[in-house]
Structure 1
């Protein structure tokens, strides 16, 4: 048996308890091929998550725990076959105690396959144009934002749903290469992996995107409950709106209830957004989304300020409006702060907002103020638009030079 990660061991423990009801530490030690000290550490964490109850020399499931809410068969198969979950905690080898890793962020969102065509300009209706180049790559707002956050040093758990099709292995391979600490990948047997068709104008550096959400929209309450142990231990919870709305709302409720700071990137715009606002601590719309939310057409700094005030009045504590080439407007504690745009050689704006959101949450997780985090994220996004592809995230080491340029 290959050595299992901590999360893999815990999934095995829960699966065994669902069948055997009670196990001793020694039995688990022998089955998992680890020391009883390691088993005790695993059981401490599971008990903290209210999943088990430790007894003298062993463990049982917590009283009243609805084991059907946790898809352990699918989870265990995925863990063992793909090793898609890595540890979100670490063991202090000197003291044998569990301790949380820093910068703990949970990202719920989409994974899409991006099919990109680069054109001299956008075609007119009915016009056929030759593409100078085309490519197939990884995308999805959730995956992109989790990748960007991981690139900037945050400890990330990312959850998405994909299909069982020709793109599913592509999704796994991409996510395993991103440096994201934890990936919770659920498969739909009925819907395909999400796709996005993207036109990129070489003339303007702008993009047009059509998304088929596919499996992203089949996320269920059961799927969310299966990830609850991760959600309740997070410090920052980030999501967007390319996933099933009711699943998003449930995950936000769980995160909020357990003290996480909830950040919503309201993209793409959804007319049910007002239902989510009581759960949101920070909202990060672009100008279009801010306009749709408030009915105020955002065309300049003054109208952006009016929209920020209106969003704040809806119950959102911190408002971050991204304004493309005009920078970023922050509104918090009754105060406005403007973060100016940085000069960059724009080649592709696809994923710029995702780069910003990922870097923003990573900096907030490090304890930075909103202004500090937004300034950093603005610089990171300015580097992202100099690269082709939504998931082609720059290295964080480049940010300092951009800020000092």
Structure 2
């Protein structure tokens, strides 16, 4: 069983479903919300584990009223969680999610606090023996160290570029595969070609830009291509991009082909959009 190490954010997503987004100054009555464990690295780890891979998640949960929700969810998803804030009182990262009947969603959230706890990256890699490392760009004080250690060990590093963050130039030199969303805009970049040229500065050979249901734009060592995304009747898109990244890590190791990994990941992520929330799709893949 191939092993993957996921490092980054864990959140508690409080998701409400509405028929349509309301106008301002309107109180909307809905059914009780869903409480879901989320975050880019976390959902990616869940997807990887579901595909029969061994997923380890290094993140910051901490001690608080919601701690049991995080632990029980990750245990149920068969994800090994290493909590850098174990037994430390901490403020969880919360996300309020409003999902409409057409599958679109709006999210209100906040950035996590920096982590002051030290991490021995060599000991961590020796312990977990990962075949791939995925970083979501959060907690840069640790992410760059893990990326550097992976590079020394010739372990591929996958980067989830959900949005631009000012500290990313410290992290990108260690990235082998940059899978970015359509909301990833580095400084002075507005078009896909500009983004590809920006990532080229960091010698990232394999780059892609996901665009929801539109074809994925690919830059494979200077060769441009597109990967089709299956068209499905979308129920909810929450977490779909995260699941894409987790599936990509799995298929990268099992297919050993960049384009096939993108194609299989697009198929996987599309299937998760057929269900509400971020866990109903588990064990229901076609």
What TM-score do you get using the length of structure 1 for normalisation?
0.65
Tell me, what secondary structure is at the counterpart of 2:4? strand
2:88 maps to which residue? 189
Is 1:351–1:391's contact at 8 Å kept on the other side of the alignment? no
**In structure 2, do the counterparts of structure 1 residues 234 and 336 end up closer, same or farther at CA, with 3 Å as the change threshold?**
same
Q: Which structure has the larger Rg over C-alpha atoms?
A: 1
Residue 247 of structure 1: CA displacement? 1.2
Is 1:157–1:184's contact at 8 Å kept on the other side of the alignment? yes
Is 1:206–1:349's contact at 8 Å kept on the other side of the alignment? yes
2:274 maps to which residue? 386
1:237 maps to which residue? 133
The CA distance in 1 between the partners of 2:111 and 2:197, in whole Å, is 32
1:296 aligns with 2:194: no
Is 2:121–2:149's contact at 8 Å kept on the other side of the alignment? no
**Gapped regions of structure 2 (runs ≥ 5):** none
Name which of 362, 367, 371 aligns with 2:259.
371
Tell me, what secondary structure is at the counterpart of 1:191? coil
**In structure 2, do the counterparts of structure 1 residues 296 and 214 end up closer, same or farther at CA, with 3 Å as the change threshold?**
closer
Q: Could you say which structure has the higher helix fraction?
A: 1
Tell me, what secondary structure is at the counterpart of 1:222? coil
Tell me, what secondary structure is at the counterpart of 1:144? helix
1:221 aligns with 2:129: no
Residue 133 of structure 1: CA displacement? 4.7
The CA distance in 1 between the partners of 2:236 and 2:177, in whole Å, is 27
The CA distance in 2 between the partners of 1:382 and 1:195, in whole Å, is 25
The CA distance in 1 between the partners of 2:168 and 2:232, in whole Å, is 33
**In structure 2, do the counterparts of structure 1 residues 393 and 219 end up closer, same or farther at CA, with 3 Å as the change threshold?**
farther
1:260 maps to which residue? 155
Is 1:319–1:331's contact at 8 Å kept on the other side of the alignment? yes
Greater relative contact order (CA < 8 Å, ≥ 6 in sequence): 2
1:115 aligns with 2:11: no
Query: Cα RMSD (Å) of the superposition?
Result: 2.2
What TM-score do you get using the length of structure 2 for normalisation?
0.90
The CA distance in 2 between the partners of 1:315 and 1:326, in whole Å, is 26
Aligned length: 285
2:54 maps to which residue? 155
The CA distance in 2 between the partners of 1:260 and 1:162, in whole Å, is 26
The CA distance in 2 between the partners of 1:133 and 1:345, in whole Å, is 24
